Amino acid sequence: MFLQFLQLWMMLCFATVSCAARQDPFAMRLSCGARQNVQTRPTNTHWREDFGYTGGIVSNATRPSYITPPLNTLRYFPLSEGPQNCYIIDKVPKGHYSIRIFFGLVRQSRGTLIEPLFDISIEGTQIYSLKSGWTHQADQVFAEALVFLTDDSVSICFHSTGHGDPAILSIEILQIDDKAYYFAPPWSQGLILRTIKRLSCGFGQSKFDVDYAGDPWGGDRFWQRIKTFGEDSESGQPRSVETRIKHASHPPNFYPETLYQSALVSTNNQPDLTYTLEVDPNRNYSVWLHFAEIDYSAGQRIFDIEINGDLAFKHVDIVELSGDVYTALVLNTTVAVNGRSLTIKLKPREGNLAIINAIEIFEVIMAESKTISEEVSALQALKKALRLPPRFGWNGDPCVPPQHPWSGVDCQLNKSRGSWIIDGLGLDNQGLKGFLPDDISRLLNLQILNLSRNNIHGAIPSSLGTINSLQVLDLSYNFFNGSIPESLGQLSSLQRLNLNSNLLSDRVPATLGGRLLYRASFNFTDNAGLCGIPGLPTCGSHLSAGGKIGIGLGASFTIFLLTTCSVCWWKRRKNILRSQQIAGRAAPYAKARTHFSRDIQMTRHHNNFGKTSTAAENGPILLS
């Protein structure tokens, strides 16, 4: 009895677990510029408003292609908003995602539509540069990439390239299987696949997975219909069936069954099937080929598959490989392409014909390393404190994509760490008005900091002294006030320190003064009251005016005394020498001596009277 109960309980558990595993994938769709959530026909797709994710300007949507989602608004980013603008979307669970962005056109003041060209990056990796003429090709009105998200958030950035304002219609973040589009190593979380082409061969319409009633885990791919590979009907005949296809909607890729119900079949006149695509050179491409034997009347078929002339698959027999007719077969391979075209050729063996149902081509992109997060947050604090205007576009990651670093920020890749570090900051001559916060010291790898010729006020943060790598510190021509922090003396790598033309006061720290002896160069001139090193006034102290005068007088007197003493001493030495040489005889020049010097001598003589025997002995000779 108890055993039976346990058995039942275990079965229930198992059912629950398998149900949980089949839950819906995470999906988030943003309608850019929308002020409320939107539902679109015919699939009742749910789009969220995009409030609070980014800046930019909202405008009425333009629909460059029939496949563009039927949304009413778009968001665009004029250069005044900065060269890069990002959507930072939080609360996206870790996982593998298909991210798709539809572009829009911006209407100019005169009503003409501009086709903007810009770059897109996801998580700091540049995935795409729009190509001129994209509006005229249905499947180029969006960019799509398969990306691993590892930190519960995703950043998607648009980088201006000086060809119009980036304009975005929608962003879709659709979870797919962790192993989706897995190929052999080096496939890993560090790779991004950018969709270049998805062709569904044969009869029918271009469609999204959702139109095919595809599994949501497939990522709602867009399949462009292609009826023939060439201009003439000789390059393939379309076929289609309604027969059920086995093994279609399977993990990890969940291809819709319909994909395999149509195909392109070669003809006896031209048994080869050849598809050519123009691509960017010197990249790696992942090619996925889909087959199902839906035209068995032609008899057995065996063919080779060449990609750019290299044999990729030999002796392909669809029925043998898939196990049956009307059964899906997916072959994938990755190729390096040096030239500008990628050609897939199906070459049947003698007397056979070739068949193909669908083709997918991806660009394989290595995901970029990111910038150390501590340094990113330091720059964000700096952006706020220095009140950087939006035109700086300090959004996303400061160093990546390397094609579009933040303006004024110099970066370096630390290969052993696998992350980018910030080694230079040049915000000179930018009209900045804020203050320099302590957070600056979190830029631990900074070598050069130039904030010259701004209107920065307040104190020089003493934390600057902890940036050991600092070689150049230029804060000249600002309104820094207060004293120079002692800590700057600890900067052992410092070669250049410009603090001239500020409102600094007080003593230059002795540690810095000492450095003047070394080769470092300094400029402290033109400040409110710096003192204490050669070239600057001597330092007073924090006393009342009377006290200062007193001290000043005291100092003058001391100097006077010191001078007097040294002159006396010098004179006396000379006289001793002379008296030893020309004993008793007055030298002609000795007569020309001023009364002043005589007075000094007398004074001194008087002071020392009876104390110093040498003075007593020599004095009369001098005075005669």
Ligand X SMILES: *[C@@H]1O[C@H](CO)[C@@H](O)[C@H](O)[C@H]1NC(C)=O
- Kindly list the residues in this chain that would bind ligand X in the complex (CB under 6 A): 59-60, 182-184, 186, 252-253, 282-284, 330, 332, 336, 366, 414, 416-417, 428-429, 450, 452-453, 457-458, 472, 474, 481-482, 496, 498, 500-501, 523, 525-526
Nearest approach in angstroms of CB 332 to ligand X is 4
Q: Is 124 helix (H, G, I), strand (E, B) or coil?
A: coil
Nearest approach in angstroms of CB 305 to ligand X is 13
Nearest approach in angstroms of CB 255 to ligand X is 10
Cα–Cα dist 453/383, whole Å: 17
Nearest approach in angstroms of CB 162 to ligand X is 24
Cα–Cα dist 462/478, whole Å: 17
Residue nearer to ligand X on the CB measure, 163 or 417 = 417
Nearest approach in angstroms of CB 71 to ligand X is 13
Token pair listed for 67: 């496949």
Residue nearer to ligand X on the CB measure, 40 or 414 = 414
Residue nearer to ligand X on the CB measure, 130 or 287 = 287
Instruction: Provide CB contacts within 8 A for 273, sequence distance 6+.
Output: 229, 235, 236, 264, 266, 345, 346, 354, 355, 356
Residue nearer to ligand X on the CB measure, 73 or 601 = 73
Residue nearer to ligand X on the CB measure, 275 or 522 = 522
Contact 193, 286 (CB under 8 A): yes
Token pair listed for 577: 């020498």
* Per-residue burial over 269-307, b = 16 or more CB atoms within 10 Å of its CB, e = otherwise: ebbbbbbebebeeebebbbbbbbbbbbeeeeebbbbbbb
Contacts of 37-42 spanning 24+ positions with Cβ under 8 A: 38/71, 38/72, 40/69, 40/70, 40/71, 41/70
Alpha-carbon torsion 515, 517, 519, 523, what sign? positive
Cα–Cα dist 220/103, whole Å: 17
Residue nearer to ligand X on the CB measure, 298 or 503 = 503
Residue nearer to ligand X on the CB measure, 236 or 401 = 401
Hey, what's the torsion of the CAs at 90, 91, 93, 99, to 10 degrees?
A: -40
Nearest approach in angstroms of CB 517 to ligand X is 17
Residue nearer to ligand X on the CB measure, 238 or 426 = 426
Residue nearer to ligand X on the CB measure, 238 or 532 = 532
Ramachandran region of residue 601, left (φ > 0), alpha (ψ -120 to 50) or beta?
A: alpha
Contact 464, 441 (CB under 8 A): yes
Nearest approach in angstroms of CB 282 to ligand X is 6
Token pair listed for 341: 């075209």
First-to-last C-alpha distance (Å) of the chain: 139
Contact 376, 397 (CB under 8 A): yes
Nearest approach in angstroms of CB 445 to ligand X is 6
Nearest approach in angstroms of CB 204 to ligand X is 24
